[in-house]
Structure 1
Amino acid sequence: MAEGYNLERLSFLVVDDNKHMRTMVKSILYALGCKNVLECEDGADAMQALKSYPADIIICDWVMAPIDGLDFTRMVRTSPDSPNPFAPIIMLTGHSELARVMEARDAGINEFLTKPISAKKLYSRIRVIIERPRQFVRTATYFGPDRRRIDDTTYNGPERRAENLEGGVDGQLSKEEVAALLSD
């Protein structure tokens, strides 16, 4: 089990069209103490699975067909029939170019993880999701976790995040609820 958090009560959805990669991610999650892991081959299967499997964290590959990771993320965030638009999403990819990171961020992911993955790197992204949950933002063109990592309280221009934050978000756990879920 991972030092620091008991992850056995969290449920994970692993979405990747490569069976070897799904098996590797699932094995890492089991080694970290996770007990509830569901695998899907693509975004279409994953959207169906989410209707009956309430994943606490989604780990999704970028390159898949027929629905890739970006389109899947957008569907989770904005589809009217999405069971949990607030579900944390970790995007996996072999591409770490800044433009790719920004594109994934703008689709609504929470964290970004480049391949090859390791238990240490995956656990660090899970910890960020647990320890520093981000408020969700709704604008005319975006819904998802606040894309700003630095809190700039001096900005007063258009699209100021304070005006767009989703307060009292249904589906987002409070810090106390997260602590209770992760305690032994």
Structure 2
Amino acid sequence: MVSVDITQFNILIVEDNVHFRTLIRSILQALGITKLEEARDGIEALEILDAPDKSKRVDLVVLDWKMEGMDGVECVRQIRQLESESRSVPIIMVTGYTETSLREEARDAGVNDFLGKPISAQSLLGRIVSVMENPRPMVEGGGYFGPDRRIKAEPFKGSNQRKS
């Protein structure tokens, strides 16, 4: 049961491949989402997110990893350093590169979730609902700002509250 109304979201699609950007847009439109922004690369995405016109607030970013110019990971790092409320926007990274080390790099940059290609309407919807219904708290420290990188809450052991 979906409790969030995704049709009201304004979603920013950041993808340099016009065919894949069109595919993502088509999937989102088929899911009932009509408020869509598009960026061809990370630089354009930052311009949209940091624009002074707050009437176009973005609720979610769907971002490709490998793009010409500024790649997705660098774009995420820069989004998380913005001085505006856009720095907290949920980000789903979409990529064909799904190795564990790359997933960790994306997580450490500040993505909320990761979706491997090829994608389907069901897989994209699942990630959107997961990110929006179960937001991880935003944390800041040690040069990092973004969603709490601990995916699974585990009880701490010992008197010093550290995992043993």
- Percent identical residues: 40
Q: C-alpha offsets along residues 22-60 of structure 1, whole Å, 9 cap, x if unaligned?
A: 100000000111010111100100111122431100000
Give the Cα–Cα distance (whole angstroms) in 2 for the partners of residues 8 and 19 of structure 1: 23
TM-score by length of 1: 0.79
Q: CA deviation at 1:66?
A: 1.3
Counterpart check, 1:150 vs 2:152: yes
TM-score by length of 2: 0.88
Counterpart check, 1:40 vs 2:42: no
Q: 2:12 is matched with which residue?
A: 13
Q: CA deviation at 1:153?
A: 3.4
Q: CA deviation at 1:110?
A: 0.2
Q: 2:21 is matched with which residue?
A: 22
Q: C-alpha offsets along residues 129-164 of structure 1, whole Å, 9 cap, x if unaligned?
A: 12211001111121100011111231624xxxxxxx
Counterpart check, 1:72 vs 2:75: yes
Q: 1:134 is matched with which residue?
A: 136
Give the Cα–Cα distance (whole angstroms) in 2 for the partners of residues 149 and 140 of structure 1: 19
Instruction: Tell me whether 126-135 or 103-112 shows the greater mean CA deviation.
Output: 126-135
Structure 2: stretches of 5+ with no match in the other structure: none
Give the Cα–Cα distance (whole angstroms) in 1 for the partners of residues 123 and 8 of structure 2: 21
Root-mean-square deviation over aligned CA pairs: 1.9
Q: 2:126 is matched with which residue?
A: 124
Q: 2:110 is matched with which residue?
A: 108
Q: Provide the aligned length of Structure 1 versus Structure 2.
A: 156
Q: 2:30 is matched with which residue?
A: 31
Q: CA deviation at 1:128?
A: 0.6
Structure 1: stretches of 5+ with no match in the other structure: 158-184
